[in-house]
Amino acid sequence: MPVVLVVDDGAANREVIRLFLSTIDCEVRLAEDGPTALDMIETAPPDLVLLDVRMPRMDGYEVCRRIKAMPRGRLLPVVMITGLSQTTHRVMALEAGADDFMAKPVEGAELIARVRSALRLKELYNTLDSAEHVIFSLATAVEAKDSFTEQHTQRVGESARLLGERLGLSEETLDVLYRGGIIHDIGKIGVSDSILHKPGPLDSVEMPQMQAHVAIGESIVKPLHSTSGLLPIIRHHHERFDGHGYPDGLRAREIPRAARIVSVCDAFDALVNDRPYRMRRSTEEALAVLRAGSGTQWDPETVDLLASELPAIQHLGAA
């Protein structure tokens, strides 16, 4: 049974979160301050930490930094929960190494969705062999290069898996969607930071270098037999439904279904979050963009499905 450690100096807050989590098959442990939580993690590491920011003795940012500095803490998911909802506090949490961020008052359905998402990621890490660990660590390194894409790939993986569930796809395919969503942009490790962070449009020299990330990603992952099912997502998530995408100009159903699903989830999450070249769009604006490109850039079935599942996707933190 997975273990969730709740760290909050408020007894009432700890109890509320414990009650919410009673609907999940997990063991809940409680800590009233940072030093106590760190001792508990050293003694018996949990699978997830829910961490308050404003606490006596040691604030949540410092606790998070110390967790991530532990040998077994780098891959331990930490979700920071705080009444400080300004963007600066979210940025500080992510810079401290937090994997996710939630604002108080906590809404039960959202908390449950985020906890399930974080536990699924931890379960994935627990099942990876040493070579796969390298691959997924590289994917994490890609996101660390750019604060604008922090947690983007996990949200894409979760959203893609959710849409796959609604389509009634097999558990094996759901796992491919989730894992493929997480590492779909791994090839960006080979793209210059100046291109990734450019605040304006890419020129005719830069664009092919950016587009090469799908082939780079494929070449990184291809030697691993255990990740062969992810290759179609990595290579084809930038194909277009009308055949004008890259790298192979596939069209419509020629594009692997998993790649079509990840493509829509990738685009939606990018639209509703800030990028170096533009500010985030509202949910309504993002859906309008997807619908305008339905049947040309994106698979219309997947666009319609994402729109119908928007409340569930928002609970995952994708909007």
Kindly provide the b/e burial profile for residues 125-160, where b requires at least 16 CB atoms within 10 angstroms of the residue's own CB.
beebeeebeebbebbbebbeeeebbbbbbbbbbbbb
Q: How far apart are CA 91 and CA 255, in angstroms?
A: 37
Measuring CA to CA, how many Å separate 174 from each of 68, 162, 168? 29, 8, 9
Inform me whether the pLDDT recorded for 147 exceeds 60: no
The answer, yes or no, to whether residue 202 has pLDDT greater than 70, is yes
N- to C-terminal Cα distance for the chain?
Answer: 30
Rounded-to-integer distance, Cα 123 and Cα 47, Å: 8
**pLDDT tens sequence across 156-190:** 999 999 999 999 999 999 999 999 999 999 999 88
Q: Can you tell me which residue has the tokens 């810079």?
A: 95
Q: Tell me the pLDDT of the chain averaged across its residues.
A: 88
Over residues 189-199, mean pLDDT: 87
Asked if residues 286 and 272 have their Cβ atoms less than 8 Å apart, the reply is: yes
Which domains does the chain show, CATH number per domain? 3-112 (3.40.50.2300), 128-315 (1.10.3210.10)
Task: Supply the pLDDT for residue 123.
Answer: 84
With H, G, I as helix, E, B as strand and everything else as coil, classify residue 247.
Answer: coil
Global pTM reads 0.69
> For residue 137, is pLDDT > 90?
no
Average pLDDT rounded to a whole number, residues 91-116: 86
Q: How much of the chain, in percent, has pLDDT values that exceed 90?
A: 59
Give dist(CA 185, CA 7) in Å, integer. Answer: 33
Condensed to tens digits (0 to 9), the pLDDT of residues 217-240 reads 999 888 877 788 899 999 999 999
For residue 107, the 8-state DSSP code is P
User: What span, in angstroms and rounded, lies between the C-alpha atoms of 251 and 244?
Assistant: 8
Of 13-17, 50-54, 240-244, the range with the highest mean pLDDT is: 240-244
| Residue of 236 and 151 predicted with greater confidence | 236
Average pLDDT over residues 142-160: 75
- Tell which residue, 243, 238, 242, has the closest CA to residue 211: 238
At position 65, the amino acid (one-letter code) is R
CB contact at 8 A, 7 and 34: yes
